[in-house]
Amino acid sequence: MNDGVFASLLNINPGVFVMAAGLLALLARGTLQRGIVLIGGPVVALLALLARPGDAEAVTSTLFGYELVLYHVDSLNRVFGLAFLIAAGLAGIYSLHREDRIQDASAMVYAGAAIAAAFVGDFLSLFVFWELTAVASVFLIFARGTKAAYAAGMRYLAIQVLSGVMLLGGAALYGSHTGSMLLPEFNPKEAITALDLNDPGVMLIFIAFGIKAAFPLLHNWLQDSYPNATETGSVVLSAFTTKLAVYALARCFAGTDSLIYIGAIMTVFPVFFAVIENDLRKVLAYSLNNQVGFMVCAVGVGTELAINGAAAHAFAHIMYKALLFMSMGAVMLRVGTTKATELGGLYRTMPLTTVFCLIGAASISAFPLFSGFVAKSLTMSAIGYEHLTLVWAMLLFASAGVLEHSGIKIPYFAFFSHDSGKRPQEAPFNMLIAMGGAAALCIIVGVAPAWLYTLLPYREKAMEYLANDLWTVDHVLTQMQLLVLAAFAFVLLKRLGLYPAEKRGVVLDFDWTYRKLGYGFALWTGRVWTRLGPAITEIWRGLAARIFRQLTAAFSPEGELSRGALSGSMAVWTAIVLGLVLVVTAVFPT
């Protein structure tokens, strides 16, 4: 290939290759063509990213006098981009069994937009791809084809677009103050300077990121939409949106104290919802929320160790969360539901899916030798070094909670527990390959974390941690104590009959305020208006007619004021008033 052409290809944001694959997916027919497009897109993008020289210049442009950075790579966005690309490839394999061109295109454009967003360096470009992730991904929810999915999709779209609008508004304010739309630069040799939250524009940007990261009370779109997506849709969705937000927070708000507490609350409260939720994909959505809490907390701590923790956790989490969603997606496809009350005993005919789910469960629970352990440890240690006792205790509590909902509940109720009598087929071959790939990554990262650690934003710090802290006896022992005794609590409570049985139903969360209270208020207002409207119109009409009649009576040629000799009385009165004004202004000249 011509060197010039090759070099210019390396200057294309890798997200563009994936988005292009998404457009090609609209034309692809048959498994072979779809396979080439859906796997080829992310692979080409990955190669383009890996082949780009480390010292390559950023690709820039200008718009309205603002400098745009369309493509730049540093050690912070590189690790997120790699995770996104791997997830996009695995999701491509996972979706091959179902020929649905709209869904293929939607997934790839969505993934590509998230990847592109990670590699741009200014707020305007970020906004464009930020909104594109929202618009492209909603089709993954609509594709389920149910009424509930449509409603959830519309709510999802409204909230995601709102996030984008706030980002644009915030960026515009920020840009007008500072004269620059550029995102803060990341240099592993210098301390990160977070944006100042006292600037209202920056505050808007912060909330926009917070919506996408599903901060507490802004979180319901996640549990609402992901379980309503198709079996492949929830896998794709789980990988990108929230982690893009974590990346954006790390770039702009590292070391912002409020994030520590926002993150800590995020780790704790979903645990309680997850324990009573019946739909296992919704349990995973709560679990996602809880995991992102660890990352947000780490970003808030903002030290080198903590930022490494956030990035490593994001990387590992994208793999094991996708794996868990894949296993539940396989159940969804084969059984038609992921409600715990309808499942149980599926290991009999889905043993491989069971094994993969268990690997995902062990990873998210952070058992040593699985990926969660090597990732979460960084964050926990970083919090330890800052002596944030309460936060540390909350995260430790949440770690036991993760074992409950994702480590035990998901595999137990789907594949073991009481026999539901259902004997579904094993997952399709393509799903098994994708799950196998994700599971392999969970184990490789867990057993040999060095290669992930070399990719982290502060590489030297990571290698130092790997050499001195990760595999110490007390670290492994304490983690095993936490997990094994928590698991023992499970079997004990189960034997004593104290573990609450799953039951069908919806669990009320904060979205009650807009789905019930807000919606109810809107309905009530509508009803009141329908009845009151005509009455009010009648009153206005009557009033207007009366005023008109009286004005006519006064001012019309036949009216009161025109009657009698002094027909010009209004002119006289006007002259008197004007005269008074003249006198007053003459006496009081100022």
Partner 1 sequence: MTTPPPKNGPENGRDATPLAKLLFGWTESKAAQLAAFLVLGALSALLILLDASVDRHGKFEMESLFGFYGFYGFAAFSFVVLMGWPLGKLLTRPEDYYGEADEDGEDEASETGEGARDE
The count of chain residues that interact with partner 1, using the rule CB under 8 A, is 83
Q: Does 269 bind partner 1 (CB under 8 A)?
A: no
Interface with partner 1 in residues 540-579 (CB under 8 A)? none
Q: Which of 361, 359, 332 is nearest to 346 (CA)?
A: 332
Q: Which of 78, 72, 12 is nearest to 44 (CA)?
A: 12
Structure tokens, 93? 């394999």
Interface with partner 1 in residues 314-343 (CB under 8 A)? 332-337, 339, 342
Cα–Cα distance between 281 and 544 in angstroms, integer?
59
Work out which of 200, 505, 559, 579 binds partner 1, going by CB under 8 A. 505
Shortest gap between Cβ of 465 and partner 1 (angstroms)? 14
Cβ-contact 217, 261 below 8 angstroms = no
Cβ-contact 395, 297 below 8 angstroms = yes
Work out which of 272, 524, 548, 555 binds partner 1, going by CB under 8 A. 272
Shortest gap between Cβ of 513 and partner 1 (angstroms)? 12
Q: Write the binding mask 461 to 500 for partner 1: x where contact by CB under 8 A, - elsewhere.
A: ------------xx--xxxxxxxxxxxxxxxxx-x--xxx
Shortest gap between Cβ of 384 and partner 1 (angstroms)? 4
3-class secondary structure, 300: helix
Cβ-contact 244, 212 below 8 angstroms = yes
Q: Does 347 bind partner 1 (CB under 8 A)?
A: yes
Q: Does 276 bind partner 1 (CB under 8 A)?
A: yes
The one segment of 244-252, 345-353, 542-550, 582-590 that binds partner 1 by CB under 8 A: 345-353
The one segment of 15-23, 69-77, 134-142, 352-360 that binds partner 1 by CB under 8 A: 352-360
Q: At what angle do helices 231-253 and 304-335 cross, to 10 degrees?
A: 170
Nearer to partner 1, 177 or 516 (CB): 516
Shortest gap between Cβ of 434 and partner 1 (angstroms)? 18
Nearer to partner 1, 118 or 403 (CB): 403
Q: Which of 358, 397, 363 is nearest to 380 (CA)?
A: 397
Q: Which of 37, 12, 33 is nearest to 22 (CA)?
A: 37
- Could you tell me which residues are beta bridge partners of residue 122? 182
Interface with partner 1 in residues 510-529 (CB under 8 A)? 515-516
Interface with partner 1 in residues 284-303 (CB under 8 A)? none
Nearer to partner 1, 148 or 577 (CB): 148
Shortest gap between Cβ of 427 and partner 1 (angstroms)? 11
Nearer to partner 1, 146 or 193 (CB): 146
Interface with partner 1 in residues 441-460 (CB under 8 A)? none
Shortest gap between Cβ of 491 and partner 1 (angstroms)? 5
DSSP output for 336-375: S--BGGG---GGGT-HHHHHHHHHHHHHHTT-TTSHHHHH
Q: Which of 286, 167, 292 is nearest to 222 (CA)?
A: 286
Shortest gap between Cβ of 32 and partner 1 (angstroms)? 23
Nearer to partner 1, 41 or 227 (CB): 227
Cβ-contact 491, 478 below 8 angstroms = no
Structure tokens, 501? 């049985």
Interface with partner 1 in residues 410-429 (CB under 8 A)? 415-416, 418-419, 421-426
Nearer to partner 1, 104 or 231 (CB): 231
Work out which of 58, 443, 507, 561 binds partner 1, going by CB under 8 A. 507
- Using the Cα atoms of residue 201, residue 202, residue 203 and residue 204 in order, give the sign of their dihedral: positive
Interface with partner 1 in residues 373-392 (CB under 8 A)? 381, 384-385, 387, 389, 392
The contacts of residue 568 (CB under 8 Å, 6+ apart) are none
Shortest gap between Cβ of 392 and partner 1 (angstroms)? 6
Work out which of 10, 12, 197, 396 binds partner 1, going by CB under 8 A. 396
Cα–Cα distance between 550 and 542 in angstroms, integer?
12
Nearer to partner 1, 52 or 515 (CB): 515
3-class secondary structure, 508: coil
Shortest gap between Cβ of 429 and partner 1 (angstroms)? 14
Work out which of 46, 168, 254, 271 binds partner 1, going by CB under 8 A. 271
Shortest gap between Cβ of 507 and partner 1 (angstroms)? 5
Q: Is 567 exposed, middle or buried (0-12, 13-18, 19+ CB in 10 A)?
A: exposed
Nearer to partner 1, 204 or 366 (CB): 366
Q: At what angle do helices 304-335 and 351-364 cross, to 10 degrees?
A: 160
Work out which of 11, 60, 349, 430 binds partner 1, going by CB under 8 A. 349
Q: Which of 186, 64, 67, 77 is nearest to 123 (CA)?
A: 67
Cα–Cα distance between 450 and 428 in angstroms, integer?
33
Interface with partner 1 in residues 132-171 (CB under 8 A)? 146-148, 151-152
Nearer to partner 1, 51 or 508 (CB): 508
Shortest gap between Cβ of 141 and partner 1 (angstroms)? 13
Nearer to partner 1, 82 or 378 (CB): 378
- Alpha-carbon distances of 57 from 8, 11, 429, 456, rounded to whole Å: 12, 9, 43, 21
Shortest gap between Cβ of 216 and partner 1 (angstroms)? 16
Work out which of 506, 544, 545, 577 binds partner 1, going by CB under 8 A. 506
Cβ-contact 167, 123 below 8 angstroms = yes
Cβ-contact 438, 322 below 8 angstroms = yes
Q: Does 207 bind partner 1 (CB under 8 A)?
A: no
Cβ-contact 332, 338 below 8 angstroms = yes
Nearer to partner 1, 125 or 287 (CB): 287
Cβ-contact 174, 123 below 8 angstroms = yes
Shortest gap between Cβ of 385 and partner 1 (angstroms)? 7
Shortest gap between Cβ of 349 and partner 1 (angstroms)? 5
3-class secondary structure, 423: coil
- The amino acid present at 518, given as its one-letter code, is G
Cα–Cα distance between 237 and 306 in angstroms, integer?
25
3-class secondary structure, 70: strand
Nearer to partner 1, 10 or 487 (CB): 487
Alpha helices (H) along 120-256: 123-142, 147-178, 200-213, 220-225, 231-253
